[in-house]
Amino acid sequence: MNKLSVLSVGFALGVTLALMSMFCALAFAIWPDATLDFFGAVTHGLDLSAVRSTAPMRAGRLVYGVLGLGVVGLVAGVVYASIYNVVATGRR
């Protein structure tokens, strides 16, 4: 079984989560009610309507969220690839 490049997987997941965060912010800016309705359905019916009035979108918050999810993705990808490499090596 081939080993995964730990940093490549971490980078790929970090970029993926950062892009998804940007697309989510764009969707919320264009269709706020539909976006909240979608995520309410994803979270099993939670009423997220209060989010629209209590957490207005600002550039600083957007950048903070995108960078934060990018870092979380990087760390999660590194951990995933590291565990995968250990498990894959141990199966021989």
Q: Is the pLDDT of residue 42 over 60?
A: yes
Distance CA 37, CA 39 (A): 6
- 24 alpha carbon, distance to own chain's centre: 10
Higher local confidence (pLDDT), 38 or 48: 38
Q: Is the pLDDT of residue 55 over 90?
A: no
Mean pLDDT of 25-52: 89
Please, which pLDDT band fits residue 91 given cuts at 50, 70 and 90?
low
Exposed (0-12), middle (13-18) or buried (19+): which is 6, by Cβ within 10 Å? middle
Distance CA 82, CA 73 (A): 14
- Model confidence pTM above 0.75: yes
Domain range list for the chain: 6-90
Q: Is the pLDDT of residue 8 over 60?
A: yes
Distance CA 65, CA 72 (A): 10
